[in-house]
Amino acid sequence: MSKLLKAVEKAKRNKRIEENESWIAKGDSHVEPLEVEDSIIEAIPVSKQMPKANAKTCVAGPYCNVTKDNEKDGTSCMVPSSFFKDDLVLDELNLAKNRILTRNSSPMFTDIYNLLRTQILHRTKKKGHNVLMVTSAMPGEGKTITSINLAISLAREVDQFALLVDTDMRDPSIHKYLGIEVERGLTDHLLHDIPVPDLLIKPGINKLSFLPAGDPIRGSTEILGSPKLQDLIIEMKERYPDRYVIFDCPDLLHAPDALVFSSYVDGIIFVVEAGKTSRENVQKAMNLLEGRNVVGVVLNKTDKESLDVK
């Protein structure tokens, strides 16, 4: 049994996993595609609950205006816990509740994602692999939080920019974790030719841009497999070689969307939740990704004991 599958099995049996503890599962410095036993790159905690968008604690330019008194239609924004960048206000308390990195995150929590960032940069930068997707076997295993925090950590790197794209068109949720409302997104570019720059959001974090998915749609598999999206990804890669593009994709085992999309990106980050993701589902997902470049596996919600794999 591979190192990853052993860790998953042991964590599943351990009933005392503590959400507030974070331990790092370090992999080798080089990861061959689909060599799962050498692919564990981080172990991080995730939030159990899906957040809801809250218009009272965040403001985006096209949707409402922020005055110097931080008033929006008579409703006060949470100034002490918010930070401002361009035309967006994010509530740091809400972000922290949703397990999103903020300026005030604990050093341990911040370092976990910094280590994840460092290992991904080590495995991709020299190869020019700057277009990555994040997926999981099943829903609710932490892929979206991983996508967001990885993008934030990348944007904090010196001379590094990040673009976070929500491509989970069946159930887009990045905007919910950030606590913002969106009216348009990637689907509006693909279906209605709205220019991408008109759809980008600056989420109050220096050097980070966010492209929402837009409204949930049917036929997402066909859209994700469209030549127009392929051309967009190629353009992103060629036009912004200094920018990492992180795509939050659907899970692999419920629909073909992520599998279709995986052939367009430079690398795949696969998220596993210790104590939840079954060995069978990990194996099914790895079989589907055969021939793709799996950069590494992020192992969520573990304790030290569950990672003590011989």
Q: Helix crossing, 143-156 with 107-124: angle to 10°?
A: 80
Domain membership of residue 31 (yes or no) is no
CATH of the domain at 177: 3.40.50.300
User: Strand order in 82-85's β-sheet?
Assistant: 59-60, 88-91, 82-85
Distance CA 210, CA 253 (A): 26
Q: Read off the pTM.
A: 0.75
Q: Note the Cα 287 to chain centre separation in Å.
A: 22
Q: How far apart are CA 26 and CA 307, in angstroms?
A: 10
* Orientation angle between helical segments 3-13 and 279-288, nearest 10 degrees: 150
| Cα separation, 193 vs 266, whole angstroms | 25
Residue 216 lies in a domain: yes
Assigned domain for 5 exists: no
Integer Cα distance of 148 and 92 in angstroms: 14
* Domain range enclosing 118: 84-300
Q: Is residue 11 part of a domain?
A: no
Query: Does 102 fall in a domain?
Result: yes
Please count the other Cβ atoms lying within 10 Å of the Cβ belonging to residue 181. 16
CB atoms within 10 A of CB 55: 15
Instruction: Report the C-alpha gap between 206 and 216 in whole angstroms.
Output: 28
Residue 308 lies in a domain: no
Asked if residue 261 is part of any domain, the answer here is: yes
| C-beta separation of 269 from 134 below 8 A | yes
- Domain count for the chain: 1
Written as tens digits, the pLDDT of the chain (310 aa) is 455 566 555 555 553 333 333 322 333 322 222 233 344 554 444 434 444 444 332 333 222 222 333 333 333 333 233 333 345 778 888 899 989 999 889 999 999 999 999 999 999 999 999 999 999 999 999 999 999 999 999 999 988 999 999 999 999 999 999 999 898 999 999 999 999 999 999 988 899 999 999 999 888 999 999 999 999 999 998 888 889 999 999 999 999 999 999 999 999 999 999 888 999 999 999 999 999 999 999 988 765 444 433 3
- Contact predicate 114/105, CB 8 Å: no
pLDDT at residue 46, as a whole number: 41
Q: At 204, list the tokens.
A: 């109050």
In this prediction, residue 13 carries a pLDDT of: 54
**Is 42 part of any domain?**
no
